[in-house]
Amino acid sequence: MAVDITMLKELRERTSASFNECRKALEKTNGNLEEAVKLIEKLLGLQAVKKSSRALKAGVIDSYIHGGGNIGVLVEVFSETDFVARNESFKSFAHDIAMHIAAANPLYGRIEDVPEDVVAVERRAFEEETKALNKPSHLITQIVEGKIKSHFEAISLLTQSYVKNPDKTVGEYVNEMIGKFGENIKIGRFCRFEL
């Protein structure tokens, strides 16, 4: 199948994947642009998994000030090389992450970062809440686990819906950037100040 050059350019703009990857995705999906976007996003996620063990030796610290100076954020974003860290697209990505933190106010980077004592407190609160439902104990356990998962996904950076595109999580956005830059990328520490 011959690939339409305008579709190829649009797919490249939407995904930041290479022209070759875009061409292959359009060929596999018989020219269906939306399916090609999904295919590339899946591919970029797989590339992120492969690169996740590589060492991070460079990066940037970015800041974002919002609300006339009422909210401020500092965030570390790591890459493997200084070449990527100096790239304007990488800096823009780091700024987007800082802006997301300002808007969404995550308390933790990942769900795994939540201290066990905090999880225990929430678990007890959800157990008390669900006991009033008069359900069998195995259902109460499932409900409590679901509520805990949902609660901590909402306050952990990588599992939050990305404010600029709520159809994906911040973690998925990071994986896309890993595919785009061809390097491992991680979000490090962050802090948010609010008056």
87: domain CATH number is 3.30.479.20
Q: Residue 163 pLDDT > 70, yes or no?
A: yes
User: Alpha-carbon torsion 170, 176, 178, 180, what sign?
Assistant: negative
What range does the domain containing 19 cover? Answer: 5-51
Q: Residue 52 pLDDT > 60, yes or no?
A: no
> What is the pLDDT at residue 44?
66
Confidence of residue 116 (pLDDT cuts 50, 70, 90): very high
Q: Mean pLDDT over residues 73-94, rounded?
A: 93
CB 184 within 8 A of CB 52: yes
| CA pair distance 157, 163, nearest whole angstrom | 11
CB 61 within 8 A of CB 51: no
Please indicate, yes or no, whether residues 133 and 64 belong to a single structural domain of this protein: no
Please indicate, yes or no, whether residues 62 and 105 belong to a single structural domain of this protein: yes
| CA pair distance 22, 40, nearest whole angstrom | 7
Residue 1's CB is within 10 A of a number of other CB atoms, namely 9
> What is the pLDDT at residue 55?
67
Please indicate, yes or no, whether residues 105 and 165 belong to a single structural domain of this protein: yes
Q: Which stretches of the chain are assigned E, i.e. beta strand?
A: 58-66, 71-79, 161-162, 165-169, 186-194
- What domain count does the chain have? 3
Please indicate, yes or no, whether residues 69 and 136 belong to a single structural domain of this protein: no
CB 116 within 8 A of CB 165: no
| CA pair distance 113, 118, nearest whole angstrom | 11
Please indicate, yes or no, whether residues 104 and 70 belong to a single structural domain of this protein: yes
pTM exceeds 0.75 for this model: no
